[in-house]
Structure 1
C-alpha cells in the first residue's frame, strides 16, 4: 500500500490499519461471528464511530486489502510488455507474486489462520465470493480496454470469469497442499502448476480473439 505524503492522510491510514489489524486478530482468535464492533473498537483503542468512519461493514476489516488486489490486476495489464499477450500477462503476474513472496499468495502457517477464519464464517465466505466476482469485472474491463473493445465485450467477460476461476482453484489447492505437507515450496509449485495449466486452456478458449 502506498504511503500518503501529507501528515493527516498518514494518520488516517495508520488508524485504519490499526483497526483492521485489531479486528483480524480478534476474528482469528474468537471467530468472525463472535466479535462485535465494540470489541474491535476497544482492541484498537478507538471509538465505535471511528470504526464506522473507516469501514462500513465488519467483513471489510478482514478483507481490508481487496482494493489493492483490484489495483494490482488492473496495473498488470495497463503496464504490461506489449509483446506479451493479455492472458499470458496474468500468468507472469502469478510467477512474479510467488517469486516476490507476496502476501497475496502466501501459503504458510500464518496464512492458514486467515483461511480457517474464512472457512468458519458464512459471512466471510460470501464476501470472498463477492470479491472474486468484483475482481472478474475489473479484469474484464481492463481486458476490453487494452484490446480496444467495448466494456461489455462478451469475450472479455468470458476470459475474466475463467481467469478468476483458475486462480481461485489454484489458490484453494495450494492451501490444501500446505495443510497436508506444511511445505511452502510445494504449495507454491501447486499454485503455479494450476495457474499455468489454466492459462493454457484459457488461451485455447480465446483463440481468434485479441486476448490470446
Structure 2
C-alpha cells in the first residue's frame, strides 16, 4: 500500500495520510477476498469506520483504492527523465531507473507471493483491466511530455510519443511476463531478471527506431 518516502510533518497531514492508508488497506483486503466488482464503496467506508464522502475525498474512483501506488510509479518515471544528467539520454535514463527500482525492491516492480493476489484480482476484473489500460495510456502522454520538455522540443512531439508508446508497451510486457514466470516456479530472482531483460531489449529497439533523435542520443 502507499508509503510516502517523505512523510508529512504536521499533525493534520499525518492524520490525513493515516486515514488514506487505512481506507486503502481495508479496500485492498475486501477486493482480494471478494473480488473488485463485489465490493461497494459503502462497504469499504463501513469497514474502515469512515463516511462515504471521506472515501471519495481520498479516492475519487473506486479503482484508485486498488491502484493506490499509481502516482508513486508515475513520479519515479518523471523523475528519471527530469533528473537525468546531460550525458544520459532519456530512454537510457528510464532503463537505468528500471534497474534501480528492482534493486530497491519497490512494491510496484516486485514479483513475489505478496504481489500475486494483486495480479489475480486484476485478472478477475474487467473494470480493473480497463483502468490498467487507461493508466498506461495516461503514462504514455506524461512520459512523452516530460521527454520532449527535457530535450527542448515543443510538445506534442511525434518522436517523443513514439518513444513513450514503445517504452510503455515494453514495460507492460515485462511486467506481465515476470509475474507469470514467478507464478510458474516461485523464483523471484528469475522473474526480476526476466523483467529487466525485456526492459533492456525494449531499450535496444527504441534506440534503433529513434536513432538520431535526442531521446536516445545524449547531448
Give the structure 2 partner of residue 144 of structure 1: 148
Matched, 1:195 2:202: no
Give the structure 1 partner of residue 157 of structure 2: 153
Give the structure 2 partner of residue 62 of structure 1: 66
Alignment of 1:46-195 (within 5 A): 46-195=50-199
Bigger drift between 65-74 and 21-30 goes to: 65-74
Name the SS for the 1:15 alignment partner.
Answer: helix
Unpaired runs of 5+ in structure 2? none
1: CA distance between counterparts of 2:17 and 2:113? 27
Bigger drift between 48-57 and 30-39 goes to: 48-57
Q: Which runs of 4+ in 1 moved over 4 A?
A: none
Shift of 1:122: 0.4
Shift of 1:172: 0.3
2: CA distance between counterparts of 1:107 and 1:149? 37
What is the number of residues matched between the two proteins? 212
What is the RMSD computed on CA atoms of the aligned residues?
A: 0.9
TM-score by length of 2: 0.95
Shift of 1:81: 2.4
Matched, 1:9 2:13: yes
Given that residues 107 and 175 in structure 1 are in contact (C-alpha distance below 8 angstroms), is that contact kept between their aligned partners in structure 2? yes
